[in-house]
Structure 1
Amino acid sequence: MSNELDIFVGNTTLIDEEVYQLWLDGYSACDAVGIRIKSGILEQTGATTDVLQSDTMDHYRTFQMLERLLHFPLKLVNQLLFQIPPCRQVMLIQKYYAFDEAFVREVLGKKLSKGTKKDLDDVSEKTDITLKSCRRQFDNFKRVFKVVEEMKGSLVDNIQQHFLLSDRLTRDYAAIVFFANSRFETGKKKLQYLTFEDFAYCAEQLIQNWTLGAVDNQVDDMDMDLDKEFLQDLKELKILITDKDLLDQHKSLVCTALRGKIGIFPEMENNFKTLSRGLVNIAANLTHTKDVRDFFIDLLEKFIEPCKLYNWSFSDVHLFLTHYTVSACALDAFKQQVLWERYMSTVKSCLLKMYHE
């Protein structure tokens, strides 16, 4: 009596995405087995608990060996030890560098240092994300920051080229790096209503318009640092609020343009000078490091909160900012139109993103 046994031998590294996600989420192999059992996998496959445990441990060993390559995705793509199809390589990289929004909101704008990392226990408890996952995400942010901080060229392009991330994930990491470099305050209680997506959008506007790279694509760290000469020049905009004739003319042009178009016209007319002073003073104070860090708080306190107080709609805010910007450029005695447009185009975009009805 003879027994026949079919055997297939291959060298392709098998990746179970569900187990990979459990590993990324910081679960131990033992916990992962329990979660897989609860999902009904034993009934679906007819496997025993011992087989499931062995399978899970095998996957975990593979992921641990792959992790050193995932730290530098170009190495994963070019290595020959693990035979992984390109589509699976993409999946491994994207999932490894993905992050939880609850986590990134806790560390956004903070220095990516050992001190911040020591606080991850509290972040883990607050967000209900495992400490191991918090550390992986934090280390990813720090690693990307370290690789690109001294590079010339586009921040987005540098991140994409070295970490092979998707377009959206690349732009998100660019925002994280930019915020960590400039240390914008995002953690204050009154800013908690803003999502990471809100801040990422604002970061993209700032990078495209206010950094050194916005005017010179050959400078060092062009997308990392704000253009200090531009910030210094913004003081010239104070003439819009210190020159009474200009202030009155500006108000008159805006009121003429908006009369009959917005329901909150009386409130806008009465508060025009206060709102204008707020926006111009934000510009004039951006030479100070603290005021740069408080940029989003200032936008909230000096413009958004007053508008909310008088029940301005999103449409009202959009119309006001549009005509407020354009009208200043029409003032004969105002000679800083290019500077004004560079400033207000970005401020307008950020304010509209931050104005949640």
Structure 2
Amino acid sequence: MANELDVFVGNTTLIDEEVYQLWLDGYSVSDAVNMRLKSGILDQTGAGPDVLESDTMDHYRTFQMIERLLHYPQKLVQQLLFQIPPYKQSMLIERYYAFDEAFVREVLGKKLSKGTKKDLDDISVKTGVTLKSCRRQFDNFKRVFKVVEEMRGALVENIQQNFLLSDRLARDYAAIVFFANSRFETGKRKLQYLTFEDFASCAEHIIQNWTLGAVDVADDMDMDLDKEFLQDLKDLKILITDKDLLDQHKSLVCTSLRGKINVFQEMEANFKTLSRALVNIGTSLTHNKDVRDFFIDLVEKMKLQCNIWSWETSFFAISSCIKGICI
């Protein structure tokens, strides 16, 4: 009895987004097949387990061949071997460079070196992120860092242009790169309640206000703190003793922050105490260790001591205070 088989041949590369995510998450083929079985896909398609395994393996092979292009997304866009529609290309790139917040929180501020990579086994156990996924994310961080570290121009724009990421993801990578370069301490126990989003917001304020690119457009470097700016902060000690200058500082800061933070009244009422703590932090930032411990000092001297700050808004206030001081 003759068997009939319908075959369709095309040159468009088929991408199953669910299987792609399983691959990105670091699951083996067998684990991915089991997860697809549990999703009830066989009931939807009428296929057998052997077909499902073959389909999963085929997708995995495709992703492995595409991966070398994803390392440098411009190559994926320009190549002709894989016929992938532009919207699918964007999806592949965006998901490949996406990261788990639990993982990035563990490596934020650490040097992106072999030494840190050796700790990925422990980080995988701690966060529940598969080791393969941890390695992919770490390698992505390191790759982006190496490409943009010596580039002039806006950090976010450089990342977008070279890796074709969305604006939000590019800003997150800018924060990761900035922290890796500046080596701020973020791993201490007293900082554990702070999320990556908290630190990313802080990084954005620092890049916009305290770096060489922010202070001098001719330098146009967003990754390095402006040493002259930090040195000038030593002159702020006069605010502790000169009441007239303190009043001017308070006026400038309150004008800038009125209506913008939800702890404005508390900040205004406790301004002298907050200003003194801030000045002490600012005048110490000429030393590398004090720069690294900047966030620890903020938590100890600004947040815990005064007990009025909501972290989501506090750094915006702190950044505005320093800008107000320097006016």
Any gaps of 5 or more consecutive residues in structure 1?
Answer: 326-338, 345-357
- Residues 1:343 and 1:116: Cα distance change in structure 2 (over 3 Å): farther
CA distance in structure 2 between the partners assigned to 1:181 and 1:343 by the alignment: 25
Q: Deviation per CA, 1:118-140, whole angstroms, max 9, x where unpaired?
A: 00011000000000000000000
CA contact (8 A) 1:13 1:82 kept: yes
Match of 1:23 in 2: 23
TM-score by length of 1: 0.81
- Residues 1:5 and 1:14: Cα distance change in structure 2 (over 3 Å): same
Match of 1:336 in 2: none
Identity %: 74
Corresponding letter in the other structure for 2:77: V
- Residues 1:15 and 1:340: Cα distance change in structure 2 (over 3 Å): closer
CA contact (8 A) 2:149 2:223 kept: yes
Match of 2:225 in 1: 226
- Residues 1:74 and 1:263: Cα distance change in structure 2 (over 3 Å): closer
Measured after TM superposition, the shift of residue 153 of structure 1 is 0.8
CA distance in structure 1 between the partners assigned to 2:147 and 2:56 by the alignment: 33
Measured after TM superposition, the shift of residue 56 of structure 1 is 0.4
CA distance in structure 2 between the partners assigned to 1:3 and 1:146 by the alignment: 57
Return the index of the structure with the highest Cα Rg.
Answer: 1
Q: Is 2:285 aligned against 1:286?
A: yes
Measured after TM superposition, the shift of residue 2 of structure 1 is 8.2
Q: Deviation per CA, 1:222-255, whole angstroms, max 9, x where unpaired?
A: 0000011100001111100144x4477579989x
Measured after TM superposition, the shift of residue 30 of structure 1 is 1.1
Match of 1:305 in 2: 304
CA contact (8 A) 2:239 2:246 kept: no
Match of 2:111 in 1: 111
Match of 1:180 in 2: 180
Q: Is 2:313 aligned against 1:341?
A: no
Corresponding letter in the other structure for 1:217: V
Measured after TM superposition, the shift of residue 193 of structure 1 is 1.2
Corresponding letter in the other structure for 2:169: L
Any gaps of 5 or more consecutive residues in structure 2?
Answer: 256-262
Measured after TM superposition, the shift of residue 160 of structure 1 is 0.2
Match of 1:99 in 2: 99
CA contact (8 A) 1:70 1:96 kept: yes
Match of 1:134 in 2: 134
Aligned residue pairs total: 314
- Residues 1:313 and 1:145: Cα distance change in structure 2 (over 3 Å): closer
CA distance in structure 2 between the partners assigned to 1:88 and 1:272 by the alignment: 52
CA distance in structure 1 between the partners assigned to 2:202 and 2:182 by the alignment: 13
Q: CA RMSD in A?
A: 2.9
What does residue range 80-229 of structure 1 map to in structure 2 within 5 Å? 80-219=80-219, 222-229=221-228
What does residue range 221-260 of structure 1 map to in structure 2 within 5 Å? 222-243=221-242, 245-246=243-244
- Residues 1:83 and 1:306: Cα distance change in structure 2 (over 3 Å): same
CA distance in structure 2 between the partners assigned to 1:71 and 1:36 by the alignment: 27
CA contact (8 A) 2:185 2:293 kept: yes
- Residues 1:192 and 1:3: Cα distance change in structure 2 (over 3 Å): closer
CA contact (8 A) 1:185 1:293 kept: yes
TM-score by length of 2: 0.88
CA distance in structure 2 between the partners assigned to 1:9 and 1:100 by the alignment: 38
Match of 1:59 in 2: 59
